Amino acid sequence: MSLDKPYLDVPGTTIFDAEQSRKGFQLNQFCMSLMTHDNRERFKANERAYLDDFPMTEEQKQAVLARNLNWCISLGGNIYFLAKLGATHGKNFQQMAGSMTGMTEEEYRNMMIAGGRSIAGNRFVGEDGTAQAQHQPQGTSTANGRL
Amino acid sequence: MAKITASVFTSHVPAIGAAIDLGKTAEPYWQPLFAGYEFSKQWMKDNPPDVIFLVFNDHATAFSQEMIPTFAIACADQFKPADEGWGPRPVPVVKGHPDLASHIAQSVIQDDFDLTIVNKMDVDHGLTVPLSLMCGQPAADKFEWPCPVIPFAVNVVQYPVPSGRRCYNLGKAIARAVESYDQPLNVHIWGTGGMSHQLQGPRAGLINREWDNAFLDQLIADPAELAGRPHIDYVREAGSEGIELVMWLIARGAMSDQPPKVRHRFYHVPASNTAVGHLILENT
């Protein structure tokens, strides 16, 4: 029997399950390496050369170089690992989360101050809430997903 | 005999730690959040524990994908604040309580809960932010936390994560373990993480105030029923990272079966991406 995945119908959400974990292992191992100052500096000095020391797929390396967290997550990354990459680039969790929505930093921050994203229409794929596929991207960011 | 006298529940948002560390607690954005913990800091001074049993989750800090313990009890004599990518937080080293931790490990494992024993671990914001919120900033000339802490890490990052029922029953086993320790220690048990938040994908920023407050109500009044709630409810209603709330059931399970005294209740949106919930319950 294969894995039971009752969460696949939650819109705009990727659950870090065994399948994602297998896909993302080397990507997430790379992220863990950024937990020392020296490695962060070495990575920033030459991102491509640093990435080539890890047996990641070429697409995973491209996603890291593009600083595109949605892309990284689709390749098995998880936000708590990717946070090390964000931190290396001087970003906080709000900037990281916001970068995945299409909103500018200010638009996302204002949404949070106004009480956050509403659950209405965002429980099941096929409803009409802001996280649904038909409403992407959500804001006016021109960063194209780049953190 | 040792005794659990109270439980504390709080979110552990990293930005709260950063706000404290950078001296921003009086800024308009943060002031309402920290105001909600003023009572709590005084309560800690008035009701000082001998040991805090602190349930938290490691955020891919001590545990990478190489090893993922579902439940890990830390038995070392000290734990350093981790470098999560921004450099370590400028907070004191956390002193452990190896003797009580080892006793709890023995008792709980022989009570059929298969804990992982950890003898070396750095601790991330999941553990240090609750300490900062409840204890405030330690003075420079006495740079230490007020008491020893037993870190207890729960996997809520990679699925499968433990069920609410398992967490609740584990809490009961921890309470039995504490009560069989032969020193007269006053123990507080803390459950941390949550409340509603999602840090990923187009649904990032999800907040569900109504669900969160219903969770708080039920955690106080009917935790056994709450423990039966399936994971998918947390994910769908409280966001992918809202699953951290299952950890609160460990602390609640460790309380007595009598209705607790609610000493403090607080709820605030937002702290960065997250809804902050906070409870102090005393055993009656």
B154: domain CATH number is 3.40.830.10
* pLDDT tens for each residue of A94-110: 999 999 999 999 999 99
Query: What is residue A1's predicted lDDT score, i.e. its pLDDT?
Result: 66
B199–A97 CB contact, under 8 Å = yes
Q: Is residue B130 part of a domain?
A: yes
Mean pLDDT of chain B, nearest integer: 98
Distance CA B196, CA B238 (A): 4
CATH number of A18-89: 1.10.700.10
pLDDT at B92: 98
Asked if B155 and B63 touch (Cβ cutoff 8 Å), the reply is: yes
3-class SS letters over chain B: CCEEEEEEEECCCHHHHHHHHCCCCCCCCCHHHHHCCHHHHHHHHHCCCCEEEEEECCCCCCCCCCCCCCEEEECCCEECECCCCCCCCCCCCEECCHHHHHHHHHHHHHCCCCCEEECCCCECHHHHHHHHHHHCCCCHHHCCCCCCEEEEEECCCCCCCCCHHHHHHHHHHHHHHHHCCCCCCEEEEEEECCCCCCCCCCCCCECCHHHHHHHHHHHHHCHHHHCCCCHHHHHHHHCHHHHHHHHHHHHHHCCCCCCCEEEEEEEEEEECCEEEEEEEEECC
Q: Are residues B233 and B149 in contact, defined by beta-carbon separation less than 8 angstroms?
A: no
B195-211 pLDDT per residue, tens:
999 999 999 999 999 99
Q: How far apart are CA B166 and CA B175, in angstroms?
A: 14
Give mean pLDDT in consecutive 10-residue pieces for chain B, a chain of 284 residues. 97 97 96 98 98 98 98 98 97 98 98 98 98 95 97 97 98 98 98 98 98 98 98 98 98 97 98 98 97
* Tokens coding B36: 């909600």
- Quote the CA–CA distance of B122 and B136 in Å, as a whole number: 21
Residue B266 lies in a domain: no
DSSP A128: -
* CB-CB neighbours of B22 under 10 Å: 10
Q: Are A72 and A82 within 8 A, CB to CB?
A: yes
Predicted local confidence at residue B84, as pLDDT? 97
Indicate whether B279 belongs to any domain: no
Residue B280 resides in a domain? no
Query: What integer pLDDT is reported at residue A2 of this predicted model?
Result: 80
Count of domains observed in chain B: 1
The verdict on residue B267 lying in a domain is: no
Tell me the nearest-neighbour CA distance from B87 into chain A, angstroms: 7
Q: In terms of CA atoms, which chain A residue is nearest residue B242? A: A15
Active site residue B125: yes
According to DSSP, residue A131 is labeled T
Specify the 3-state DSSP secondary structure of A7: coil
Convert the pLDDT of each residue in A16-63 to its tens digit.
999 999 999 999 999 999 999 999 999 999 999 999 999 999 999 999
A11 near B CB under 8 A: yes
* Nearest CA among B135, B94, B138 for reference residue B118: B94
Q: What percent of chain A has pLDDT over 90?
A: 97
Residue of A nearest to B233 (CA): A7
* Residue A3 confidence (pLDDT) above 90: no
Amino acid at B31: Q
A111/B85 Cβ within 8 A: no
Q: What's the domain range around B166?
A: 3-260
How many CB contacts within 8 angstroms connect chain A with chain B?
A: 171
Q: Where in chain A is the domain with CATH 1.10.700.10?
A: 18-89
For chain A, what is the total number of helices (H) and then of strands (E)?
8, 0
ipTM rounded to 2 decimals? 0.97
Does residue B24 lie in a domain region?
yes
Q: What is the mean pLDDT of residues A115-138?
A: 98
